[in-house]
Amino acid sequence: MQYANRQIANLLHSDLNEVYLFHGTRKDRVNVLLHNGFDLRLAAMNFKSLWLGAGVYVADEANLSAQYTERNGVCTIFVMRVCLGDVFTTKTHMTDLKRPPCKSFCNGICTQHKDFFDSVVGEFPQREFVVYDDAKCYPEYVIQYQVVQSPPDHKGGYY
C-alpha cells in the first residue's frame, strides 16, 4: 500500500506541464523554505535585480542552480516539483516582471487581457524557469553535497 501511495505521489501531471527542476539556495534558507515554502514577497531580497523579475527561479541544469549555493561546505539544491503550464520564452532580461506576460504580448503591465502565460523561461543561454506563484512549486527532495577540492600540490593525476 505504501508503495502504491509513493507511485501516486511521484506522478507528474503532464496536463499542467509539471516537471522536476533544480533550485539551489543558501544554507541559512534551507529550513525556512522547508517549513514555510517560498515567499515571493522576499524573492528579490538577496539579489539587486533578478533577470526575470520577482519569482521562484528553477533550472533544468543542476550546475546553474549550484551557483546560488555557498559553493563551499555542504551545499543544498532542492528538486522542485513545478507546474510550468504555458511557458513564455525569452532571451531578454525582464527585470520588472511580477507575473508572466499576457498572451497578446502587451508591453508593460497588462490590464486589458485575461489570458496570461503561467511561467517564463529565460535562455541566457542556460535556461532559468520562473514561476510567480508559490503554489506552483514544491520542494520535494533535498540534495546536500560537498565539493571536494583538489589539494594545492595536486599534480593533475588521479589518486
Give 64 or 87: the residue with its C-beta nearer to Zn ion: 87
Contact (CB, 8 A) for 59 and 65 = yes
Smallest distance from Zn ion to CB 99, Å: 11
Residue 132: HSE in the Cβ half-sphere, 13 Å Cα cutoff:
20
Smallest CA-to-CA distance from 44 within 30, 55, 59, 58 is with: 55
Give 26 or 113: the residue with its C-beta nearer to Zn ion: 113
Cα dist from 60 to 12, 19, 127, whole Å: 16, 9, 7
Give the type of residue at 107: N
Residue 67 is placed in which grid cell?
Answer: 551557483
Smallest distance from Zn ion to CB 132, Å: 16
Residue 138 is placed in which grid cell?
Answer: 514544491
Smallest distance from Zn ion to CB 122, Å: 20
Smallest distance from Zn ion to CB 133, Å: 18
CA 136, distance to chain mean position in Å, is: 11
Binding site for Zn ion (CB under 5 A): 102, 104, 106, 110, 113
Give 87 or 110: the residue with its C-beta nearer to Zn ion: 110
Give 42 or 106: the residue with its C-beta nearer to Zn ion: 106
